[in-house]
Amino acid sequence: MDASALDGLLADLHASAPGGLEVRRDGACTLLQAAPADLPVVMRLLREQAGLNYLANLTAVDRGESFEVVYHLFRIPADGAQVVVKCRVPRAEPRLPSVVALYPTADWQEREVYDLMGVIFDGHPNLVRVLLPDDFVGHPLRKDFKVTAT
Amino acid sequence: MVLASPPADDGASALQRMLGDNVITTTLEKMWNWARSWSFWPLSYGCNCCPIEMMAAGGARFDIARFGYEVFRAVPRQADLLVVAGPITLKMAPVVKRVYEQMPSPKWVLAMGNCATSGGPFRDGYSILPGADSLFKVDIYVPGCPPRPEALFHGLLELKRRVERGEY
């Protein structure tokens, strides 16, 4: 997708995101910082209007007071378009709407973020641990996680 | 009446004299151990680099078949040597334990590489066991990251020596 196609969509995106939308450009990559409540509608617009039909990566960063969940969107067939959506949730209550209904590839990746970072995705069909055993205590990629002897 | 005189030697040497060099007498256990030691049936467990070296050991250049150990099994019930060639994660631990328990006795475990011997670089991590010996008895440790096929052979031949002597 060339930049102008996304520019046309930006007005729609801003209008649909009352929580505020921060847009940055870094080369071919466009970064959108969205509020948690606006995430489903922003993702839906990006998929349906901008044709970004592939969620390649979903990860999370521990920012101290908050967790930043990062979505990397591409298009198939690949044309170099890349949009990164970032969403910050407070550490005290790390909840975010799930995007599994929109992007099936988010299924296991949201489970991984839940497993290792402890972000809860509302609406996920099966939010259980994926990499660690079910009886594991804690979320080890959090900065305040302390390793106990195994 | 004169009784027949008792044999001058014991039964074993009489047998030896009768059979000459045509038959070898031994115990069944010794024969089994000799056979076991020349035909381990390995069950492979691994993640990445150690299995590559294990595959190289199975290939033509290093040729594990020289020793009779080439029958890699994917089924624990057909194997008697578990080659742990990789770290054991907490999630994988119950599976490896079950696979080990499914192997028929006598069975041996060879820990290949630093991860299997001690946890390696992941030892202090949150999801890795500090070595395969925290799950079951390990007979041979082959350190290296990854160990070369020669090192694996060294470990296997060491195990062979022990099994041949019945030291297990």
Q: Is residue A100 part of a domain?
A: no
Domain assignment present for residue B24? The answer is no
A150 close contact with B: CB closer than 8 A: yes
Contacts A–B by Cβ distance under 8 A: 21
Structural domain harbouring A83? 3-95
Count of residues in chain B: 168
Averaged pLDDT, A118-141: 92
Interface contact A130, partner B, CB < 8 A: no
Name the token pair of A103: 């992007």
- Calpha distance A133→A114 (Å, rounded): 13
Complex ipTM over 0.95: no
- Burial profile A99-130: b = 16 or more Cβ within 10 angstroms, e = fewer: bbebbeebbebbbbbbbbbbbebeebeebebb
- Evaluate whether residue B14 is within a structural domain: no
Average pLDDT, chain B: 89
Based on the structure, what is the number of domains in chain B?
Answer: 1
Residue B158 in domain = yes
Task: Give the pLDDT band (50/70/90) at residue A62.
Answer: very high
Mean pLDDT across A20-24: 83
Tell me which chain A residues have a C-beta less than 8 angstroms from the C-beta of B131: none
Which residues of chain B make contact with A150, given a CB cutoff of 8 A? Answer: 90, 126, 128-130, 134
CATH of the domain at A14: 3.30.460.80
Q: Give the count of domains, chain A.
A: 1
Q: What is the CATH number of the domain that holds B60?
A: 3.40.50.12280
Which residues from B are below 8 Å from A147, CB to CB?
Answer: 124-126
Please indicate, yes or no, if residue B22 is contained in any of the structural domains: no
- Within B25-148, residue ranges assigned H as helices are 28-37, 49-58, 93-102, 114-118
> Residue B1 — pLDDT band, cuts 50, 70, 90?
low
Residues of B whose CB is below 8 A from A132: 90-91, 127
Put simply, whether A133 touches B (Cβ < 8 Å) is yes
Tell me how close the Cα of B73 comes to any Cα of chain A, in angstroms.
27
CA of A94 to nearest chain B CA: how many angstroms apart? 22
Report which secondary-structure segment, H or E, holds B141: strand B140-142
For residue A106, CA distances in Å to A35, A110, A127, B25 come to 19, 6, 11, 68
